Structure 1
Amino acid sequence: MKTTTLRNALLAAAVFAALPAHAQDKVAKIGILAPLTGGAAADGTEMVNGAKLAAEEINAAGGVAGYKLEIVVGDTQDQAADAVTSAFERLAGDRDVNAMMTGYASGSNFEIELMAEQEMPYLISANSAQTRDIIAPSPDDFPTVWSFTPSYDAYETAMVPVIEQLEKAGIELPNKKAALISSDNPYSKTIMEGLKKNFEAAGWTVTSADLLPFGEINDWRAFLARVRQDAPAVIINTDYLPGNAAKFVTQFLETPTNSLVFIQYAPSVPEFLELTKEHSTGIMYNLLGGVLDTPKNPRAAEVAKKFEDKYGVKTGSYGASLYEQVYVYAEALAKVGDPTKRLEIGAAIGATEKQIASGKLKFDPATHLAMQGDDAIPIQFFQIWNGERVLFYPDAYATGTFQSPPWIKQ
């Protein structure tokens, strides 16, 4: 009798263990493509943390459509094509992975083509020009791919009007010269070329538009030596790696000129402030899709507080973005009910219209980019002052005013 009972118990246990996941807790895995090693590792860690925070909250509330969310990660390392492809293939090989997300995985966004081939829902938050160039010729071929970041055109066009506005507000500039430098990657290079075009169209002299190899840059002094000879009113560095940007600021301040200093994206990463400390005061940067933390957008403060409470650091753009991406996917899954219905999930994501940390999210069906504008996702200009990020443009969302940097001698 005891032998029979034991045999039956073991049989029952074996059958229970062999049951598919949906007979117990069904699992919907979300693959995160993120650079966890290399110069962009701070961004990659933030991406993963934002996604995990949202998944934990959703699971604690009971999951979605009968599924618990699980975050799995593929390291894209230095964003080279082979590293991104390897990470994608590993994640795609798991049958429970029916959606992928990233801040950025590669510089060119070539992986969008891989996602489309497998009808994989893919949410992305960077390299909008590349996303648009891939999708716009035939948007119906990419029904599952959507960008949380709007067109980067504003990165190229908004700078001159903002500087002109600062002049009208009383910031004195010594001349109409601008010095530009970039590293050789699609994001930084495209923005620098667009800025050069727009400065020249506005009557400015661009004294340099240097291009350095992409990767770790320890010495900016050759460029800065020429800058000191020309003493331009504006210096712009579009390399986005925070370690590189920190070295640039330190070396500029060795013998500063009476110039406004703007750095693309990197100052938004918490690592930049850790590396530069008080030396970052006066530096400008801007963001499309960054956290819009103003009284007019309480969602931003809510997300930022949750992130800081969880991890002990403030979120940059990608922590908040991946947090919101997981929620948008979860809402689509709730409507569709089945994560394997990828095309339906993609359509539900594309129909999203909601307030998120960076503004009001709605997608352009012609490009699959988030819409840009004051009533959608606005471009934000910041200045760092005593370790705080002061949003000074657009006026409708401003939390403070721009101040003349401390290295400028009046």
Structure 2
Amino acid sequence: MNSSFVTSKRLRGALMATALTALAMSPVPAFADVVKIGLLAPLTGPAAADGQEYQRGAQMAIDEMNAAGGVGGHTFELVTGDVKDMSSGNVTSAVERLIGDPDVHFMLTGYASLTNFEIDNMAEAEMPYMLAATSQQTRDIIAPEPDKYNCCWSWTPSFDAYNTDVTSFVEKLAADGKVTLPNKKVAIVSSDNAYSKTISEGMKKTFTEKGWTITVDEIVPFGEVTDWRSILAKVRADVPDVVINTDYLPGNSASFLNQFLEQPTKSLVFLQYAPSVPEFIQLTKEKSNGVIYNLLGGPLVSPKNPRAEEVGNKFKEKYGVESGTYGVALYEIMNVYFDALKKVGDPSDHAAIMKALGETDKQTVAGRLKFDPATHLAMQGEDYIPITFFQIWDGERTLISPEKYATGEFKLQPWMQ
């Protein structure tokens, strides 16, 4: 046999042995792999603008973590389930497909079904899950048996503040001499979905208890609404001090505002959630000046919470647009999961991951995130996640309440002057 061949063969054998020894001594755990993260999102349909934000926020967190080397050698891949119009059939199909993938070890959403019925699917599959909307429905499911639902945790606090705090906010503006309330009348318009109806019903109860008269009480079918003029005619027939629309779809809210401004009344206009979505300003442009909205779990951009500006700037740098509520929220939810995985180590140990999620206590873009063990909702309040009121001027959103975090003050809406 050729001696050079023998020498070469021995050399290759020595190199292979060295390589195997080095691999055995590597600090990367033997179980390191790609962990799939399941995202439920309305990527098509009327809420697609929100769905795109979900995807961008979750992907940004995953890209950052993968670039940093992952967690314990694990890296991550985002897989999506399009819930489309959020009907039960489309949500169920997306949930079953993602749960059925053995490599999916965590799931998240902003909102998927609005009634959150998928929580039961997650509990049955022992799938760690975080969501960020319709917290009344989350509480109704979890509170009777919280131990049954260790799977599931809500970024969003109780919606009780949505039901009560608009009335208090308006009355404080009047007490401070910033608006006048000559008749204490309110027009309330809603959409036929769990989110909007829950909030509007709570508002009606609170306004009535505080001596207000509800002059318009209308509900429109859920989905695209392009013509609000018949409802607005009722508003103009008996001019209220306050006009409220709780339809959360930005396209609907934008058309409502545009048509209100065709013949505005001297009423304070409050729109639920939709103005927080970048699409709203794109559709209304300068007509959005003065609009007020509020958020629970939205970005708390204030010198007292630098985390919100930090994450918001990263989002804008990566995607070229500002984040609304859900881009930065899902980025943070992903990081809550990463924290849990760092504590547990094994992504397939779902019970330990779920327990670690529930033990979260950290500062986030929305404030201090800590969960109520009785409801699995984020805790609400100025020392946790506060309800925040914003006003739009020149395309910018200014935080005007609570005073502890405010970056500006309320200014009279242009049509009220």
Shorter-chain TM-score above 0.5? yes
Structure 2 Cα separation of the partners of residues 115 and 314 of structure 1: 32
Q: Could you tell me which amino acid in structure 1 is paired with residue 281 of structure 2?
A: L
Q: Could you tell me which amino acid in structure 2 is paired with residue 54 of structure 1?
A: A
Q: Which residue of 2 aligns with 1:315?
A: 323
Q: Could you tell me which amino acid in structure 1 is paired with residue 115 of structure 2?
A: S
Q: Which residue of 2 aligns with 1:364?
A: 372
Aligned in 2, Cα 1:119/1:24: closer, same or farther, shift over 3 Å? closer
Residue 138 of structure 1, CA deviation: 0.3
Deviations, residues 166-224 of structure 1 (Å, cap 9, x unaligned): 01222123320000010100000010011000001000000121111100001011110
Deviations, residues 233-271 of structure 1 (Å, cap 9, x unaligned): 000000000000000000000000000001100000000
Counterpart contact for 1:122–1:144, Cα < 8 Å: yes
Q: Which residue of 2 aligns with 1:68?
A: 75
Please give the residue correspondences for 1:191-340 in structure 2 after superposition, counting only pairs within 5 Å: 191-340=199-348
1:145 paired residue among 133, 145, 152: 152
Q: Which residue of 2 aligns with 1:8?
A: none
Q: Which residue of 1 aligns with 2:404?
A: 396
Counterpart contact for 1:144–1:346, Cα < 8 Å: yes
1:172 paired residue among 164, 176, 180: 180
Structure 2 Cα separation of the partners of residues 309 and 264 of structure 1: 28
Residue 385 of structure 1, CA deviation: 1.2
Helix, strand or coil at the partner of 1:149:
strand
Residue 96 (1) aligns with residue 96 (2): no
Residue 90 of structure 1, CA deviation: 1.0
2:166 paired residue among 150, 159, 171: 159
Counterpart contact for 1:42–1:271, Cα < 8 Å: yes
Q: Could you tell me which amino acid in structure 1 is paired with residue 303 of structure 2?
A: P
Q: Which residue of 2 aligns with 1:122?
A: 129
Structure 2 Cα separation of the partners of residues 79 and 218 of structure 1: 20
Structure 1 Cα separation of the partners of residues 89 and 135 of structure 2: 21
Residue 85 (1) aligns with residue 92 (2): yes
Q: Which residue of 2 aligns with 1:110?
A: 117
State the percentage of identical aligned residues: 60
Q: Which residue of 2 aligns with 1:59?
A: 66
Helix, strand or coil at the partner of 1:407:
helix
Q: Could you tell me which amino acid in structure 2 is paired with residue 132 of structure 1?
A: R
Residue 26 of structure 1, CA deviation: 0.6
Helix, strand or coil at the partner of 1:314:
coil
Aligned residues: 396
Residue 107 of structure 1, CA deviation: 1.3
Q: Could you tell me which amino acid in structure 1 is paired with residue 271 of structure 2?
A: I
State the Cα RMSD in Å.
1.9
Residue 329 of structure 1, CA deviation: 0.3
Structure 1, gaps ≥5 residues long = 6-11, 13-20
Helix, strand or coil at the partner of 2:377:
coil
Structure 2 Cα separation of the partners of residues 84 and 338 of structure 1: 28
Higher-Rg member (1/2)? 2
Structure 2 Cα separation of the partners of residues 24 and 374 of structure 1: 42
Structure 1 Cα separation of the partners of residues 371 and 164 of structure 2: 21
Counterpart contact for 2:29–2:72, Cα < 8 Å: no
1:33 paired residue among 36, 40, 45: 40
Structure 1 Cα separation of the partners of residues 163 and 278 of structure 2: 24
Helix, strand or coil at the partner of 1:198:
helix
Q: Could you tell me which amino acid in structure 2 is paired with residue 74 of structure 1?
A: G
Structure 2 Cα separation of the partners of residues 119 and 66 of structure 1: 24
Residue 343 (1) aligns with residue 385 (2): no
Structure 2 Cα separation of the partners of residues 44 and 191 of structure 1: 22
Q: Could you tell me which amino acid in structure 2 is paired with residue 241 of structure 1?
A: L
Structure 1 Cα separation of the partners of residues 263 and 185 of structure 2: 18
- The TM-score, its normalising length taken from structure 2, stands at 0.92
Q: Which residue of 1 aligns with 2:139?
A: 132
Counterpart contact for 2:32–2:72, Cα < 8 Å: no
Runs of at least 4 residues off by over 2 Å: 21-25
Counterpart contact for 1:239–1:245, Cα < 8 Å: yes
Structure 1 Cα separation of the partners of residues 136 and 391 of structure 2: 25
Counterpart contact for 1:192–1:209, Cα < 8 Å: no
